Amino acid sequence: MAGEEGLKVLGLQVSPFVLRVCLALNMKGVSYEYVEEDISNKSELLLKSNPVHKKVPVLIHNGKPICESLVIMQYVDELFAGRPILPTDPYERATARFWAAYADDKLFPAWYGMVKAQAEEERAEKAKETLAAIEHMEVTFAKCSGGNAFFGGDSIGYVDIVLTCSAPSCSGSRRCAGFSTWRSLTLARLRCWLRGRSGL
């Protein structure tokens, strides 16, 4: 496929953000070189490619680095032919970008904050934030899915990838911390989506 030459992913197998990028590339049927990074001993290539955040994932295409998983996914979608990841309609595309950013900015930080909280008061506050974010995603799923199985409608798309790749991490942290937040929810549509995508 045109444009695949010199395509490399700097990543970490346990990172949901890296998984997003790999899934996007795989959906496009693109071949790439994967380079596992040692985060405790970051390579010169990683530090040079992402001097601002010094984090994975980084996609290197013909020697040019692209950083941040959401940005990389958009780049991959625009560059390579195949099944679209983002909607083709401009409004729907903007909406998908908004909710993917919302998940990263609000949902996941609240969830992980709840898991890591030591004080009961802090945990309760983060649980409240988590449930509020999930409720927003439930309403969004009802609107965006059009009654189908995915946020993207009848096929997996941008928001689905973002949530799917992080859901297993949420599930694991939930089990470690002994929480049963998902089970207590009355959000039928999103619970169904989560069970189907991540085994929750």
Q: Which CATH class is domain 7-79?
A: alpha beta
Residues of the chain within CATH 3.40.30.10 domain(s) are: 7-79
**Please, where in the chain does CATH 1.20.1050.10 lie?**
90-198
Query: By the 8 A CB rule, do 37 and 11 touch?
Result: yes
Assigned CATH topology for domain 90-198: Glutathione S-transferase Yfyf (Class Pi); Chain A, domain 2 (1.20.1050)
pTM tops 0.85, yes or no = no
State phi, psi for 69 to the nearest 5 degrees.
-60, -40
Residues 69-117: tens digit of each pLDDT: 999 999 999 999 999 999 999 999 999 999 999 999 998 899 888 888 8
Torsion over CA: 196, 23, 99, 101 (sign)? positive
Indicate the burial class of 120 (C-beta count within 10 angstroms; 0-12, 13-18, 19 or more). Answer: exposed
pLDDT tens-digit series, residues 45-69: 999 999 999 999 999 999 999 999 9
Q: What are the distances in angstroms from CA 155 to CA 37, 84, 194?
A: 32, 10, 15
